[in-house]
Amino acid sequence: MRKISLDKLNQLFAEIASKNSLYIPVDTAAGAKYEKYDGTQTMSDALNTTRSAKDFFFPQTENLVDFKVEGKNIEIKEPVNEYEDFVIFGARACDVKSFEILDRVFLADPVDNFYKNRREHGVVVSMACTKPAETCFCGTFGIDAAAPAGDIVCHKTADAVYFDAKTDKGAKLLESLNALTEDTDSAAVDAQTAQTREVLKKLPLAGLDASAFGADKTMEFFNRPEWQTISESCLGCGTCTFVCPTCQCYDIKDFNTGNEVKRYRCWDSCMYSDFTKMAHGNIRNSQVERFRQRFMHKLVYYPTNNEGIFGCVGCGRCMAKCPVNMNIVKVMRKLGGNK
Amino acid sequence: MQEIKREDLIAKAAQLLADGTVDRVIGWKKGEFDYDVTPAVFTSKEELENEFVWNDFCGANFSKYLRKEAEKTESKAAVFLKPCDTYSFNQLLTEHKFDREKVYAVGVPCNGMLDDSKIKAAANGISSVSEENGKVAVETLYDGKITLERNEMLAERCVNCKSKKHVAYDELLGEDGEVLDSARFDEVAKIEAMSADERFAFWQNELSRCIRCNACRNICPACTCEKCVFDNPDSGVENKAIADSFEEKMFHIIRAFHVVGRCTDCGECSRVCPQNIPLHLLNRKFIKDINGFYGDYQAGAEAGSRAPIVDFTKEDLEPGEAVERGGENA
Amino acid sequence: MAMMNDPLIPVIGVVTDIRIDTPDVKTFRVVTPDGKKAFDHMPGQCAMLSIPGVGEAMFSITSSPTNTEFMEFSIKKCGCLTQWLHAMEVGQQITIRGPYGNAFPVDTAFAGKDMLFIAGGIGLAPLRSVINYCRHYRDRYGKIDIVYGSRSMEDLVDYKEIIDEWVKDDGIDVHLTIDREQPEWTGHVGFVPNYVKELGFDTNKTAILCGPPIMIKFTLAGLQEIGFDKTQVYTTMELRMKCGIGKCGRCNIGSKYVCKDGPVFRCDQVDELPDEY
């Protein structure tokens, strides 16, 4: 394990940024946000970023291919995407877990090369939580906020940041910073971890239990009458899906620049009325059906297809951002029978 | 002024249900935390007693729910309306968006609603929020009890509240207030004072954060189109994505234009924006211009009123004059 | 770095022949610019066709895999993209990617079986691939019955191929029907589900159903009435698709993605899915 005193942290950022693009959470008018480090920013102390970290691997819009159309002929121009090596600094345990959930979708056969390339070029430096918010419930999904996954795991104390490399990629990066860091034992980190775990136990949502849901329970939950009442307040906007670190649905669209056609993909939301609309009809005509789809996907469909792993990491972003405060916790309470 | 409490609202709702005036009540339902309040429909006294909430976080405007409920059945639904909500109510009536006969409106006084994001910025790990001697008392997981100034925690639209007066109701709980002389156009004036380049940069910065979640549109009482042009794949402008840097500005500017003369300045667009974009400023700019060009007009102040934009009079400003005066008003 | 053969990136297809099947159905023949088949497939699989700038959509491949020269798509005009496709002339280039989805188990569950194909309207398009596959490997299958119905005589897709080829084959019985009487029509008149019951097939067959949802519903009920079990009946589904590879998240019925786990389902498997299709 290595450590650096807090006052030297910006030196470490500068060192990383001299070789790779470095992204750190920075405070802005819209809450914390990952920004490319340019030597001027300070790392945010916010618990989490407003938008999740999925943008790094699955950006909101992404050019897939260009077409040049002339008369009856089409020319396909594959975009030359330069994938930079980059480092994400300060991702929380929930967001790091979300990468695994996205991996199971995008890296499953057939592999999504756009995602895979970004994933291969990124090094994830996670940051253990010490003051989780009342909206946090990562523990419900077996995530330990005090000990996140990641290529390098960091713990920040009052005066230092501790680093522990967990993968070869992480070890390589950490080694390159040896001139700035010093060797240390894990005493401070262990103490912090123990303390945080005590805090986690006392969170208001600590007892939230997902075990009623899971793989192969589609028929048990699909026709439950409660969907009608709990979906009633849903406005059908896409806020929850867009701030969600695990929502991965996308649309593929064409944009005619006048010169060529750009085919791009962009985030889509199962909450939107046109999500399943076809020329001859729509299988999810009402918001009840769309609402049900989102939560069934997280709590039942995804686990069914992924060895019981839930499609939610308990980051609490949907709780904080839903315009009408309807969220997965309320769905779990209502349908999963836990108070 | 006699203070109206949660119990008073529940009693009123229960009475309306019991005497058959209505068979359901649109109100606020408590959630996981004190600030976690969701619009909901209540049908029994038990439900009301268990889950109904009336506190400093009942900001949500019920317009979208009211329209949905009014279409559902032949029977009446009751709805609680804060003063600002009554302006939306009137505006919807003006546009014939719901059947007045199907709604029983109960006016409730409002002391200004709090912005949970302001409280979250000031307090880590919130266990509870309550009012204590006119201040906001927050129990936290890490720093014990924190006391915050209520004025500083108010939602933007409440800081600049335009009216404590209910302009529509069947029944009023408590006493009515007055139309206020708010400073709501000050922020607009600041933007007007910018140079064109500064102004462009200001909006570029604000709107570039848009994630196209459509929350502003979906909550907006004035967004009443059956099918939004931005949801129509055949429109050529349908977009969930920011195809280029101009795209998101187009969405918000078109939306602002579309609600001109109909926007009551309820502030819901800014309240719901997950990216804290001050969308209400676009609408306020239009309201300010209308006031300047045609004389003061408040959408929703009176049901059935014609907005200057859709009402021709011979005294109307000529377009050329508007452009010329644009300098002072723009 | 250029993308290596990403599943979302299409290749060019050239439309080399356009056949007008019915007033709203055309069959397009597609090859690559160098005159080859774009890719191999199995009966029941689909491909994404697109006109850049207009849109991309999933279509079943109606030609048989045994056709090594080209692929065919029978497409009904019903939306934006299909209108554009219908407006195409020979020589037009489009884009194509695939194949997507599972296929009918032609070499396993169907092997050695008597086959009963039941189609309504454009529903013949995916079945034509299987029918021609079975005709090609004729000795691998038992007796073949085809029940096919449409609104009118003019709406029967592939009518020429049916009359010129299918009815002439040994061991294939083709039963055509149209919804309403027409002066020049001497065949059966009536809806497909009723016709299937009237024909009263012996139940030692594997049935494949494709057509409008309402036809599928009543035909399946009819088949069960005459003694078929749902495990003997296969169908193919269609929902809105964008990626074709089970990732974009919109074509699911419960935990199954129609583009990847389907489009072919056995009817007893459909029962295990929530009622959202």
Same domain, B148 and B284: no
Distance between terminal CA atoms of chain C?
41
* Per-chain mean pLDDT for chain C: 93
- CA atoms of B208 and B118, how far apart (whole Å): 22
Residues of chain C with C-beta less than 8 angstroms from the C-beta of A81? 1, 3
* Per-chain mean pLDDT for chain B: 91
Between vectors from CA B315 to CA B312 and to CA B318, what angle results, nearest 5°? 80
DSSP string, C145-162: EEEEEESSGGG-TTHHHH
- CA atoms of B208 and A60, how far apart (whole Å): 13
- CA atoms of C223 and C231, how far apart (whole Å): 12
Structural domains counted in chain B: 3
Burial of B288 (0-12, 13-18, 19+ CB in 10 A): middle
- CA atoms of C248 and C257, how far apart (whole Å): 10
pLDDT of residue A19: 94
Same domain, B166 and B107: yes
Test A233 with B31 for CB contact under 8 angstroms: no
The answer to whether position B88 is within a domain reads yes
The answer to whether position B246 is within a domain reads yes
The answer to whether position B26 is within a domain reads yes
**Nearest-CB residue to C53 (from A108, A261, A304):** A261
Amino acid A195 reads Q
Same domain, B245 and B300: yes
CA distance to partner chain A, nearest, from residue C142 (Å)? 36
Test C93 with A72 for CB contact under 8 angstroms: yes
**% of chain C with per-residue pLDDT over 90:** 88
Domain parsing of chain A, residue ranges: 2-202, 218-336
pLDDT of residue A115: 95
Test A269 with B213 for CB contact under 8 angstroms: yes
Residue C130 has pLDDT above 60, yes or no: yes
- In the numeric block, the tokens 């909101």 are attached to A60
The b/e string for A267-293 (b: 16+ C-beta within 10 A; e otherwise) is bbbbbbbbbbbbeeebbbeebbbbbbb
* Entry pTM: 0.93
By the CB < 8 Å criterion, does A319 face chain B? yes
Same domain, B254 and B316: yes
pLDDT of residue C3: 45
Interface test with A, best of B32, B68, B69 (most A CBs within 10 A): B32
Residue A192 has pLDDT above 60, yes or no: yes
Which helix (H) or strand (E) segment holds residue B91: the answer is: helix B83-94
- In the numeric block, the tokens 């793989």 are attached to A215
pLDDT of residue C2: 43
Residues belonging to chain A? 339
Fold of C114-236: Rossmann fold (3.40.50)
Which among A227, A220, A235, A229 has a CA at the least distance from the CA of A293? A227
CA dihedral of residues A305, A210, A189, A320 (deg, nearest 10): 100
The answer to whether position B177 is within a domain reads no
Average pLDDT over residues A150-161: 96
Same domain, B275 and B227: yes
B108: left (phi over 0), alpha (psi -120 to 50) or beta: beta
- Domain span holding position B56: 6-113+161-172
Same domain, B223 and B279: yes
- CA atoms of C12 and C33, how far apart (whole Å): 7
- Comparing A274-288, B62-76, C225-239, the range with the smallest average pLDDT is A274-288
**Nearest-CB residue to A50 (from B39, B127, B274):** B274
pLDDT of residue C80: 87
The answer to whether position B242 is within a domain reads yes
Beta bridge partners of A5: A160
Same domain, B92 and B22: yes
Residue C112, CA distances (Å) to B15, C64, C174 in order: 73, 19, 19
Give B110-135 pLDDT, tens digit per residue: 999 999 999 999 999 999 999 999 99
Residue A339 has pLDDT above 80, yes or no: no
Which among C236, C160, C149 has a CA at the least distance from the CA of C199? C149
By the CB < 8 Å criterion, does A284 face chain C? yes
What is C11-100's CATH superfamily?
Translation factors (2.40.30.10)
Residue C164 tokens read as 């010129």
Give B228-272 pLDDT, tens digit per residue: 888 877 776 666 666 566 666 788 988 999 999 999 999 999 999
pLDDT of residue B324: 76
**% of chain B with per-residue pLDDT over 90:** 76
- CA atoms of B7 and B52, how far apart (whole Å): 9
Residue A140 tokens read as 């419900």
The answer to whether position B301 is within a domain reads yes
Count CB atoms within 10 A of the CB of residue B38: 22
Test A134 with B141 for CB contact under 8 angstroms: yes
pLDDT of residue B1: 43
Average pLDDT over residues B161-177: 95
By the CB < 8 Å criterion, does A117 face chain C? yes
Same domain, B77 and B35: yes
DSSP reduced 3-state for C217: helix
- In the numeric block, the tokens 């849903």 are attached to A234
Q: How far is CA A30 from the centre of its chain?
A: 18
Size of interface A-B (CB pairs under 8 A): 127
CA distance to partner chain B, nearest, from residue A9 (Å)? 24
Same domain, B193 and B310: yes
Same domain, B47 and B95: yes
Test B38 with A264 for CB contact under 8 angstroms: no
